[in-house]
Chain A
Amino acid sequence: MTETSNNQNAGAIRFGKANIVYPNGVVGMKDLDLEIKPGEFVVIVGSSGAGKSTLLRAVNGLNTLTSGRVEVNGEQVPRKDGRELRQLRKQIGMIFQDFRLVKRLTVMSNVLIGRLGHVPSWRTLLNLWPTEDREIAIKALERVGIPDKAWIKASDLSGGQQQRVGIARALAQEPAIILADEPVASLDPVTTHQIMQDLVRINRELGITTLVNLHFLDLAREYGERIIGLRFGELVYDGSADTVTDKDFEDIYGREVSKDDVLDEEAVDG
């Protein structure tokens, strides 16, 4: 397998008859057929346990399909750990609800972790990062607006800033795809909007295919271009964010949509 970032398929994702059944019998993904084109901004909604995380984690091989296929950049996601899977993963950035930073290290060290796949192994062992990679890390921090925090310990940042470091780490990978698994679930409403705007802006500026799991419907509607609805691991909605109706959301959730499903707007507007 060679570099695929110049490939015209870079950033494309395709699921075909994909199934994931967990060892405990829970169905995480059921007969999924889905095609995502390079550069799309897709929001995935569904109640908890609907398989949103399962879908994201199948893209970078953190979850393995039980049957069917998933292709990224036009190539099948390897089913086994190893060189090929690492080659693929280094082109896919991931952002987590709980940020997953090394708290006692500086912001810079955390962002450099995004370069792990691009740097020779002996260098990472000794923590000797090439100048080019440091520059890439600084650019990533500039893009999320916190270059001044480079030498601050990650634990000393606010939640929103920590998530920006998480985004910068993903950007440092110079990825074709970004997977954001509930990126705003542990943030306050104001910060939530800032992070969502960052993700949209990065998607537009760099053309990185972006998949975001969300559980707030108003956020999905506001920031999504395309919305995918999952229920019990099945694709039950796939359409534009402009035309999605409350009825569609009710179908996705299998119940009435309530106030709990939207982020409190007053906290933002007021």
Chain B
Amino acid sequence: MNGPAGSTVPSKPRRNWPLWLGVIGFLLAMTLWSAHGIGFSLFELVCNITRGSRLLEESWPPDFGFIPRLYEPFMETIYIAIIGTVVGGILAIPIAILAARNLTLGPLIWFTDRNFMNILRTLPDLFWAMLFATAVGFGPVAGALALSVFTIAVISKLWSESLESIDMGLPEAIRSVGGTWREMIQFGAMPQGLPHYVSYALYAFELNVRASMVLGLVGAGGIGMILKTQQANFEYERVTMIILAVLIAVLIIEEISEAIRRRLT
């Protein structure tokens, strides 16, 4: 019936339509239910869309005269991102290695480290920023500390998983010459793991530049702080300028880091 006689390919299984319709119906129902829950109404949105456009009108054109005053907070944002990436990146190394099942020092250490990582990751960067802001005062130091924690969370998660997939032949060869655990890591695992590490560290830097703007909103220094002030003063043309500047900076940084990462892997 299906295909020429004597074909060894079995006939194509039929698509399970009831299942598909069921899944789509379920997703639709979930969305409607949630929209109702937050009081979302399409009708109100359409009626009030003009208010949004008024905001956009006030925000245009961007205030280019504001650029010189952006330089300092902008650099502060970059400094915060760099410190966060370097400090967090270094601390992430042992945490990631001990969380990799094939390299860790024992089940208890693995379990503890793994859970530690999960806690770091579960708490959002805004929480860390507020925590450190209360501890060391509002400003860029709090931002840098918050991003260090955030960087540990990002790199240790990604890298420990990529370390688990390395070829264990070389590490075993290091053991077989009488090498210690540290030597096994250094000579056996790192040659394979390092390119990934660099790639993840660059990725973390990209995230950090973006995050350090948001952190400014809660008083952790950088360009986000200026953004908040200008917004509070209804200086929407300046707000647009800030967003534009950040957008361009993020695009440039991502382009550079992606070019490096592509060369690595």
Question: Interface code A206-250, partner B: CB below 8 Å = 1, 0 otherwise?
Answer: 000000000000000000000000000000000000000000000
- Do A117 and B191 touch across chains, with their CB atoms under 8 A apart? no
- Do A113 and B176 touch across chains, with their CB atoms under 8 A apart? no
Nearest A residue to B171 by beta-carbon distance?
A: A100
- Do B173 and A86 touch across chains, with their CB atoms under 8 A apart? no
| 25 pairs, A vs B, C-beta closer than 8 Å | A62-B175, A62-B176, A86-B179, A86-B180, A87-B178, A88-B178, A89-B176, A89-B177, A90-B177, A96-B169, A96-B173, A100-B169, A102-B191, A103-B191, A113-B179, A116-B174, A116-B177, A116-B180, A116-B183, A116-B187, A117-B177, A124-B186, A124-B187, A125-B182, A173-B178
Residues of chain A with a CB closer than 8 A to B170's CB: 100-102
Interface check A93, CB cutoff 8 A = yes
Interface check B57, CB cutoff 8 A = no
Residues of chain B with a CB closer than 8 A to A102's CB: 170, 187, 191
Task: Enumerate the 6 nearest inter-chain pairs by beta-carbon distance, A residue then B residue, closest first.
Answer: A117-B178, A90-B178, A89-B178, A100-B173, A94-B176, A86-B178
Q: Footprint of B on A, CB under 8 Å?
A: 60, 62, 86-94, 96, 98, 100-105, 113-114, 116-117, 121, 124-125, 169-170, 173
User: Whole-angstrom distance between the alpha carbons of A121 and B184 in the complex?
Assistant: 12
Question: Interface code B139-174, partner A: CB below 8 Å = 1, 0 otherwise?
Answer: 000000000000000000000000000000110111
- Do A114 and B175 touch across chains, with their CB atoms under 8 A apart? no
Nearest B residue to A115 by beta-carbon distance?
A: B177
User: Whole-angstrom distance between the alpha carbons of A42 and B60 in the complex?
Assistant: 84
Q: How far is the CB of A172 from chain B (nearest CB, A)?
A: 9
- Do A92 and B191 touch across chains, with their CB atoms under 8 A apart? no
User: Whole-angstrom distance between the alpha carbons of A96 and B179 in the complex?
Assistant: 17
Residues of chain B with a CB closer than 8 A to A124's CB: 183, 186-187
Q: How far is the CB of A38 from chain B (nearest CB, A)?
A: 20
Q: How far is the CB of B44 from chain A (nearest CB, A)?
A: 61
Residues of chain B with a CB closer than 8 A to A89's CB: 175-178
User: Whole-angstrom distance between the alpha carbons of A101 and B183 in the complex?
Assistant: 14
Q: How far is the CB of B154 from chain A (nearest CB, A)?
A: 26
Residue of B169, B172, B191 near A105 (CB, 8 A) is B191
Nearest B residue to A94 by beta-carbon distance?
A: B176
Q: How far is the CB of B258 from chain A (nearest CB, A)?
A: 22
Asked whether A121 and B180 contact (CB < 8 A) given A102-B191, A103-B191, A116-B187, the answer is yes
